[in-house]
A and B are shown apart, each in its own frame.
Chain A
Amino acid sequence: DTEVTQTPKHLVMGMTNKKSLKCEQHMGHRAMYWYKQKAKKPPELMFVYSYEKLSINESVPSRFSPECPNSSLLNLHLHALQPEDSALYLCASSQARGGYYEQYFGPGTRLTVT
């Protein structure tokens, strides 16, 4: 199974809501990533977990809170978002951290903040 799944596919939320994005992989990968992609821009890294520990936070605002409950799951908790946070959020995993390993991506969650 080389699939990374993400739920939900689409999410519309108000600025006062709290919601979570979920990501799952069963490839035994020990690195998991959250990316944000705005229209016509390249994916930008937000967070990296390595062996279930947060290893990179790319200065992401605290209204985004990542969580890695176990080696297969990655969550992104959202609270008090702004309209400019509307984007496609991609999850990815790789065998380990580091640029030598290809990343396996999920299809993304399209988030709209109203």
Chain B
Amino acid sequence: ILNVEQSPQSLHVQEGDSTNFTCSFPSSNFYALHWYRWETAKSPEALFVMTLNGDEKKKGRISATLNTKEGYSYLYIKGSQPEDSATYLCAFKGGATNKLIFGTGTLLAVQP
């Protein structure tokens, strides 16, 4: 059974704070790691697809890093805003599986 774990489960920060959370995945047979943002009552939205060890991707105030050898990815949000409030999901694709395996997500709440 392939496990994808995210921590923390939830996070409450103040507007302007920077924050980060973690996605852990199997370190063998890596293909890709996805990050999605899911706002309440909306569709999950792709943030990043990362494929190479050491990859670092950035979209505005959000960035992500990837370490495939130790099996983790970090998502960083700089200067959190209330509109960043959402559940952030990571999903792992390995060689031993033909599908994305999703983590349970980190629920971020940004207080104005």
Contact = CB atoms under 8 A, between A and B. Distances in A.
A104 interface: yes
A42 B98 contact: no
A107 B99 contact: no
Interface in A77-114: 90, 98-108
Interface stretch (B13-21, B66-74, B76-84, B101-109): B101-109
B99 A102 contact: no
Given A42-B89, A107-B41, A102 B103 contact: no
B65 interface: no
A56 B98 contact: yes
Contacts, number: 51
A58 B43 contact: no
A58 to B, nearest CB: 7
Contacts of B102: 42-44
Interface string A31-65: 00000000011111100100000001010000000
A42 B105 contact: yes
A42 B43 contact: no
A58 B101 CA distance: 12
B34 A103 contact: yes
B43 A4 contact: yes
Interface in B26-54: 31-32, 34, 36, 41-46, 49, 51
A102 B105 contact: no
B49 A45 contact: no
15 contacts: A42-B101, A42-B102, A43-B44, A43-B89, A58-B99, A100-B32, A100-B93, A101-B49, A102-B34, A102-B46, A103-B34, A105-B36, A105-B43, A105-B45, A108-B43
Interface of B: 4, 31-32, 34, 36, 41-46, 49, 51, 89, 93, 98-105
